[in-house]
Amino acid sequence: MSPGLHDLTRGRGLLFGGDYNPEQWPEEVWAEDVRLMKEAGVNLVTVGVFSWARIEPEPGARDFGWLDRVLDLLAGAGVAVDLATPTASPPPWLGHRWPQTLPVDESGHRLWYGSRNQFCPSSPVYRERALALVTDLAGRYAGHPALAMWHVGNEYGQVCHCDTTAEAFRAWLRARHGDLDGLNEAWGTVVWSQLYSSWEEVLPPRRAPYLVNPAQRLDFRRFCSDALLAHFRAERDVLRAHTPDIPITTNFMGFFPHADYWSWAAEEDVVCDDLYPDPADPRSHVRAALTHDLMRSLAGGPWMLMEQSVSAVNWRSHNLPKPPGRFRLESLQAVARGADGLCFFQWRASRTGAERFHSAMVPHAGPDTRLHREVRAHGAELRALAGVAGTRVPARVALVFDWPSWWAATERGLPSDRLDPVEELFRYYLPFWERGVSVDLAPPSADLSGYALVVAPALFVLGDDDAAALTSYVRAGGTLAVGPFSGVADRDARVHPGPFPAPLREVLGVRGEEWLPAPEDRQVPCAWTDGGAFTARLWTELVRAEGAEPVAVFAETGDPAVLRHPCGAGVAWYVATLPADDAVAALAGRLLADAGVTGALPGPPPPGVEAVRRGPVLFLLNHGDTAARVPIPGPARDLLTGAAADGAVTLAPQGVAALQTES
Ligand code: GAL
């Protein structure tokens, strides 16, 4: 078996801890840190993320002494270490001596040191220096008893437009498009006289007088993700050569635009995420659920929440704290959705630097505080859930999500820049969440045959092969729903010719003629054909039924707004507008009926209550402000309290039950 989270959870149960930055503290503090960690039930800390300058204070020097002592101390206390390669933030000397390692923005301006993350992903000097350090780090700590996982870099997301990047981009384009003719064809450079006559002319998209070629921009997005991934791989391979049995990870950032995580996840042993739900957003818990489901799907099983906060962050413009009980609720939500690790940024609040007002597991006020007591209580209760580690969250519904579609559909020069694929994904996710229906996410190329229902709310880019696979999925008995402005462009952002959505027309039984964005403040009246009205906004389409049945129409024209098409042994739906949330909820009900899918409970949970089954445990989480009584199927025992329940449980506001059920 290849290394993975199971190596960490074996004998430890769920992982609990945080980013530990001992280099910010005198050594006397370390002993207290480790004592407090033990008392809080911490079993894993991430060490060294930003320690490059401390380890290599000048080029080629090495100071590992302090790290030896920290790791020995942690090993002695039985706290495992997720040891970071400190390459996310090079020391000032790198940029000072080798300014070409610094990233350059679209306007040609260099970004300087003095903050963090200042490197060009394509810089050979950066790569060489980083790998030299990683080689020494791996050599030194391979076999150290504290080492449990490698954490490569941090939150990969750098973008650079420099000349070195341009060269690397050209090499990437050669591999993708072959020769210049291939590039000119794919990018449609005949438009606006953009024809390239030599490779040297080809550049990353830089600041230009007007709209930049959309295919160039799409390829650059792909390239940026791949360039960072190449760097991740280079570090990973060094680590793997030294420690083949130690799992390797890096931390994702949910729906993050600068890396295509479907391609990344396949390259690491453990999928980890950093998530900071906004306490000011009343739907943050549903967004978090969606993000957790993305991580579980990327991992194909258990994943780890690498960073969350116990209270406020310091990087929004106005940083609301979390009310008592909130971080516990959020953390248990991640467990319910497949997380085997619950870690925080950071262990001890920094006194200095840019993050001194970020909350921490040990606040400035010290351990004798409400927050730290909550931390300890959470560590203790996670031990009661040890048995869920490694278990799965079964889902019969998949939401299709794809980075290239996100990128290409949020460019300029479209019929509207108000369509937001991630927001549409969320709006379709919401009714499933409300009904306690578990959902996986999947790229369009995934094998979807295991799902009863597949929903693609916003799939602008669609290759003919993926469209054919979706068609076969329906013919074989699946239920598919497709949102508007989907199947519009091929992988080079070229519009599929003919009525839309061209590659899906046959399965959807529709013939689209015009995209018709609506005035922004307009509520577009629509009607279900079997009775009842709803509104839509921002976007409509002129679509004819060609085999499909209109299920809803635009009230003013009578043209179809939602269509249903039995096809082979399955059913395909097309939604030619952005229905209001209540209409999306009604639609989800119809889709679930077609697909024969039900939720975790016999009926929908009370409003604000999340219901999700993970392995043998039914998790119920109350995100509302009032107590909620939730009917449950059969007798059960709450793993968090030990209490028996039968028929129903009552959850306090922010209350959680982890019910070991018999079914
Ligand atoms: C993350 C980062 C951490 C810390 C945290 C603060 O993006 O990985 O190092 O900065 O945010 O919320």
- Ligand 1 atom nearest residue 154's Cα: 8
Average the pLDDT over 202-222 and give the result.
98
CA of 569 to the centre of ligand 1 (A): 48
Q: Collect all residues with Cβ–Cβ distance below 8 Å to 219 and sequence separation of at least 6.
A: 172, 173, 176, 186, 187, 492
- Ligand 1 atom nearest residue 155's Cα: 8
Residue nearest to atom 10 of ligand 1 (CA): 355
DSSP, res 599: -
Confidence of residue 446 (pLDDT cuts 50, 70, 90): very high
CA of 312 to the centre of ligand 1 (A): 12
CA of 602 to the centre of ligand 1 (A): 40
For a ligand 1 pocket test, name from 19, 251, 306, 307 the mutation site with the most ligand atoms within 8 angstroms of its C-beta. 307
For a ligand 1 pocket test, name from 355, 356, 357 the mutation site with the most ligand atoms within 8 angstroms of its C-beta. 355
Residue nearest to atom 4 of ligand 1 (CA): 345
Residue nearest to atom 5 of ligand 1 (CA): 345
pLDDT of residue 663: 55
Instruction: Tell me how far apart the alpha carbons of residues 575 and 571 are, in angstroms, rounded to a whole number.
Output: 13
- Ligand 1 atom nearest residue 49's Cα: 9
Confidence of residue 1 (pLDDT cuts 50, 70, 90): confident
Instruction: Tell me how far apart the alpha carbons of residues 269 and 286 are, in angstroms, rounded to a whole number.
Output: 27
pLDDT of residue 244: 98
Check pLDDT > 60 for residue 94: yes
Average the pLDDT over 581-588 and give the result.
98
pLDDT of residue 629: 98
Confidence of residue 181 (pLDDT cuts 50, 70, 90): very high
CA of 345 to the centre of ligand 1 (A): 7
Average the pLDDT over 623-631 and give the result.
97
- Ligand 1 atom nearest residue 309's Cα: 12
Q: Which residues are catalytic?
A: 155, 307
CA of 81 to the centre of ligand 1 (A): 18
Written as one string, the DSSP assignment of 181-226 is HHHHHHHTTTGGG---SSGGG-------SSPPPHHHHHHHHHHHHH
Residue nearest to atom 12 of ligand 1 (CA): 313
Check pLDDT > 90 for residue 662: no
Apex 237 CA angle, 231 and 238, nearest 5: 100
Q: Which of helix, strand or coil describes residue 151?
A: strand
pLDDT of residue 661: 86
Instruction: Tell me how far apart the alpha carbons of residues 88 and 67 are, in angstroms, rounded to a whole number.
Output: 18
Q: What is the pLDDT of residues 145-155, one digit of tens each?
A: 999 999 999 99
pLDDT of residue 152: 98
Average the pLDDT over 579-585 and give the result.
98
For a ligand 1 pocket test, name from 274, 313, 359 the mutation site with the most ligand atoms within 8 angstroms of its C-beta. 274
Q: Collect all residues with Cβ–Cβ distance below 8 Å to 81 and sequence separation of at least 6.
A: 44, 45, 46, 47, 71, 74, 75, 144, 146, 147, 148, 149
What long-range pairs does 432-436 form, CB within 8 A, spacing at least 24?
432/397, 432/588, 433/286, 433/289, 433/290, 433/610, 434/585, 434/604, 434/605, 434/607, 435/588, 435/592, 435/599, 435/604, 435/605, 436/599, 436/600, 436/601, 436/604, 436/605, 436/610, 436/611, 436/612
CA of 254 to the centre of ligand 1 (A): 13
- How far lies 213's CA from each of 208, 402, 406, 637, in Å? 10, 21, 17, 59
Identity of the residue numbered 404? P
Helices then strands (H, E): number in the chain?
Answer: 18, 25
CA of 41 to the centre of ligand 1 (A): 23
- Ligand 1 atom nearest residue 251's Cα: 8
- How would you write 328-371 as a 3-class SS string? HHHHHHHHHCCEEEEEECCCECCCCCCCCCCCCCECCCCCCCHH
CA of 307 to the centre of ligand 1 (A): 7
CA of 308 to the centre of ligand 1 (A): 9
Check pLDDT > 60 for residue 212: yes
Q: Collect all residues with Cβ–Cβ distance below 8 Å to 662 and sequence separation of at least 6.
A: 634, 635, 636
For a ligand 1 pocket test, name from 82, 343, 345, 346 the mutation site with the most ligand atoms within 8 angstroms of its C-beta. 345
Average the pLDDT over 178-183 and give the result.
98
- Ligand 1 atom nearest residue 276's Cα: 12
Tokens of 41: 């039930």
For a ligand 1 pocket test, name from 50, 155, 253, 305 the mutation site with the most ligand atoms within 8 angstroms of its C-beta. 155
Instruction: Tell me how far apart the alpha carbons of residues 464 and 445 are, in angstroms, rounded to a whole number.
Output: 11
pLDDT of residue 361: 99
Q: Which residue has the tokens 């600068």?
A: 258
CA of 250 to the centre of ligand 1 (A): 13
CA of 354 to the centre of ligand 1 (A): 11
Instruction: Tell me how far apart the alpha carbons of residues 611 and 628 are, in angstroms, rounded to a whole number.
Output: 12
Q: What is the pLDDT of residues 364-379, one digit of tens each?
A: 999 999 999 999 999 9
Among 323, 91, 140, which Cα is nearest to 238's? 140
CB atoms within 10 A of CB 552: 26
Check pLDDT > 70 for residue 142: yes
- Ligand 1 atom nearest residue 253's Cα: 7
> What integer best gives the mean pLDDT of the chain?
98
CA of 452 to the centre of ligand 1 (A): 38
Residue 288: CA count within 13 A, CB half-sphere: 30
Among 4, 3, 1, which Cα is nearest to 341's? 4
Written as one string, the DSSP assignment of 273-322 is EE----TT-TTHHHHHHHHHHHHHHHHTS-EEEEE--SS--SSSSS-PPP
The torsion region of residue 101 among left (phi > 0), alpha (psi -120 to 50) and beta comes to: alpha
Residues in the chain: 663
Identity of the residue numbered 410? T
Residues with beta carbon inside 6 Å of ligand 1? 154-155, 274, 276, 307, 313, 345, 355, 358
